[in-house]
Structure 1
Amino acid sequence: MGEVDLNKERLELALEAAGLDLWENDLITGNVTRKATKTFEELGFTEDEIVSGVQDIYGLFHPDDIDTVRKAVADHLTGVTPQYRCEFRLRSKSGEWVWFANYGRIMDGHSATPGKRLIGVTFNIHDRKCRETEIAQINQQLTEQNRLLQQLNTALERLAANDSLTGLSNRRTLMELGAKEYKRTERFGHPLSLLVVDIDLFKAVNDAYGHLAGDRVICAVAQACAARKRSGVDIVARFGGEEFVIVLPETDGPSALRVAETLRQDVEALRVAVGDAGKDVAVTVSIGVATLHKGSGLDFEELVNRADKALYQAKGTGRNAVYVADAQPDDGGMAAPTQLDLGGGI
């Protein structure tokens, strides 16, 4: 056996061990001088079918891959890329799509002479592609699950921060946000006002019409409070039961008093449906107002307590009233007689 034959056998053994199928094209004549026979066999074609039936390799390419393959070949032939590399799908005899890859180069080329042969190898990458697809699907599922988890977390955070009946901020959120506003007041020297709003004689509503009617009244007053809110500035919260708190940053005492009085009038004008027969009820609120200035020595919780005390002073005047904490008779205390006396409660 000559050295050439021995080297050929060595090459064949190396290609077989590596799972590579050698092919060769004559770039001058355009003929295929060595077919990728093993690849066709792997696709299920017989030797006779390879010789007679499988003439145009491009007829086996997946339609989505043909342009990619043609471009990869053209880029190498024109010197854009130093090697020809491409991944593609071929249709097996049974109709399944199998992933393969090509690696090749122009040979017999010299500095002034273009190459005459395009030689390369084809090898099966189907298992790798399937794993990549599986991993991509898993990653997509994880991305979707993370998105859903984020949505659930956001919903849970919203539920934890808001009152379930009215949708307003709850007491915990109020105290957290209020503490931040207190710090801003101390830092920038802006006034911070606060209203504590309580529905007058609410127990009588529950006793006369039931708790569902009471819930409707609470929601109606909550909406009236929220309507007075400056978006992105004020904080409106259900403090507990039939009591609400409105935090008014950068708002002085007279301005807060005007907000409170307008709110009192708005609620006084409400008519809340409490039955299927078109029955409705009118309610009123009493409001305590307190204002915090830089250097006052009060914290946010103490501000709430001052407004709460003012609220009970408003209740003591006959309800349906607004009262300012520490107000003098001529500079802020306001009262109006109640418009509805259902009896009982405060």
Structure 2
Amino acid sequence: MSTQLSEQSYEMEADPDVYKTLLESTRAIPWKIDWKTLRFTYIGPQIESLLGWQRDSWRSVDDWAERMHPDDRKWVVDFCVSQSQEGSDHEADYRALKSDGSYLWIRDVVHVLRNEQGEVDALIGFMFDIDERKKVEQERDCLRQELEELSYKDCLTGVANRRMLDQVLEQEWMDARRNCQPLSLVIIDIDYFKQYNDSFGHFKGDECLRQVASLLADSACRARDVVARFGGEEFVLVLPQTDAHAALTVAERCFAALQDANIPHPASPVSSQLTLSCGVATCLPNHRNSLDDFLEQADKALYKAKDGSRNCIVVAEN
């Protein structure tokens, strides 16, 4: 009995039609390329149902490269060629062009065959349809990015939160120190915001905070400038590569924008509309000063404005 099974197994191994049937019954697409001519010597019939191209249209590696998304083509071709030249098995994910003009994510798994002299003789491999898997991965990555962005945003106003502010300040301080460039801070407090809430209610107060945050973000118009909610009704503008004069200009622009918005605040002792108190500080970071000292300098300027007439800007003394 065992002898009969052995003979049947040998017959299967020796029959190329068996291998062909097995290969062509899988969902993966088998293929083979002659290394010297870089032409396909075989590609499975599954290619027609997957990508729509006729089997006989896959003549050389040029057809393979041309039927690839332009954004993927260069790195995939360069990578696969270099790995093949080194005789290393490899795999690559890319978007393959379908005959209808759409794209499908493919994973190409490549095995390098050598001749008796150890030279690369042929490449054989399988193309796998990984389109659904890629879509799931991309959706997961988008969700992760959204969650990460939310973790750095103030949920009420949409500007940066305290966590993001701390990281930005640390980074900009180090950059300013390394490049010998000025760094400026503008700390802003909404005047008599408690009275605003008492007059209009917290729902209207939240709307007011969102409006002020938007005005501040528009006033700090450079891409690298950061507007963050420091807490409650306080906001901070981080202004890299900004000297004292330019920082004062930004603060004045914030005041002008709020004045133009003309948000009523009848309970305010200083004005019939919403106003701000503002502290401005500028520093050229070096080994003799610290970020904490800089923050304290800006904070003292703010409280000097609040202890005075409010509705004003105080620039910290260097």
TM-score using structure 2 length: 0.59
What's the CA shift string for 1:278-310, capped at 9, x where partnerless? Answer: xxx830000001111133733223322211111
1:83-102 matches, within 5 Å, as 85=42, 87-88=44-45
Given that 2:219 and 2:257 are in contact with CA atoms closer than 8 Å, whether structure 1 keeps it comes out as no
Match of 2:302 among 311, 320, 324: 311
Other-structure match for 2:184: 193
Distance 1:215 1:16, change over 3 A: closer
In 2, the alpha carbon distance for the partners of 1:82 and 1:191 equals: 61
The one-letter code sitting in structure 1 at the alignment partner of 2:164 is T
Other-structure match for 1:225: 216
Q: Does 1:321 align with 2:278?
A: no
Given that 2:220 and 2:250 are in contact with CA atoms closer than 8 Å, whether structure 1 keeps it comes out as no
Given that 1:314 and 1:322 are in contact with CA atoms closer than 8 Å, whether structure 2 keeps it comes out as yes
SS at match of 1:205: helix
The one-letter code sitting in structure 2 at the alignment partner of 1:212 is F
Distance 1:136 1:253, change over 3 A: same
SS at match of 2:261: coil
Distance 1:13 1:248, change over 3 A: closer
Distance 1:232 1:19, change over 3 A: same
SS at match of 1:247: strand
The one-letter code sitting in structure 1 at the alignment partner of 2:45 is F
SS at match of 2:280: strand
Match of 1:253 among 230, 244, 253: 244
Count residues in correspondence.
214
Structure index of larger Rg: 1
Q: Does 1:207 align with 2:164?
A: no
1:248-287 matches, within 5 Å, as 248-272=239-263, 282-287=273-278
Aligned-CA RMSD value = 3.6
SS at match of 1:269: helix
Deviation at 1:181, TM superposition (A): 0.7
| Alignment gaps of 5+ in structure 2 | 1-6, 22-36, 47-108, 110-126, 266-271
What's the CA shift string for 1:1-28, capped at 9, x where partnerless? Answer: xxxxxxxxxx999756756669xxxxxx
Distance 1:176 1:18, change over 3 A: same
Other-structure match for 1:4: none
Given that 1:264 and 1:286 are in contact with CA atoms closer than 8 Å, whether structure 2 keeps it comes out as no
Distance 1:232 1:265, change over 3 A: closer
SS at match of 2:45: strand
In 2, the alpha carbon distance for the partners of 1:264 and 1:158 equals: 29
The one-letter code sitting in structure 1 at the alignment partner of 2:294 is L
